Amino acid sequence: QVQLVESGGGLVQPGGSLTLSCAASGFTLENYYVGWFRQAPGKEREGVSCISQREKNTYFVDSVKGRFTISRDNAANTAYLQMNNLKPEDTAVYYCAVYRPGVFERMCKMNVPYKYWGQGTQVTVSS
């Protein structure tokens, strides 16, 4: 059974940190590019970050550059989103998702059809 399970969300004060995990099962994560998305109440879903496979090319939306780090451990079939200096505007449900890239595709993208999605984990930044 194919599954992506996010964990690590919670309540944190502004300026705090959280690390989200995305554990894959039922398929080999190494064959996929990984993306993190978020959706705040009343807002559209937003692509936050993505990471390619072995080259580990990455993308970050401007609002999180310098604060968030994305990584992956293919041996553990897990991807991570390290979030530092969190702000109230980072409050959202965070989702991980994956897609299989084209043969010559080196850079990950947010605006492509992601194949598998997790159920999401809530991140709340508030004092």
pLDDT digits (tens, 9 = 90+) for 48-102: 999 998 667 999 999 999 999 999 999 999 999 999 999 999 999 999 999 999 8
Q: What's residue 56's pLDDT?
A: 72
Alpha carbons 33 and 18: distance in angstroms, whole number: 22
| H or E stretch at 35 | strand 33-39
Structure tokens at 95: 């989702």
Q: What's residue 13's pLDDT?
A: 98
- Side-chain half-sphere of 44: how many Cα atoms within 13 Å? 2
User: β-strand 18-25 against 3-7: which pairing, if any?
Assistant: antiparallel
pLDDT digits (tens, 9 = 90+) for 7-42: 999 999 999 999 999 999 999 999 999 999 999 999
Residue 5 confidence (pLDDT) above 90: yes
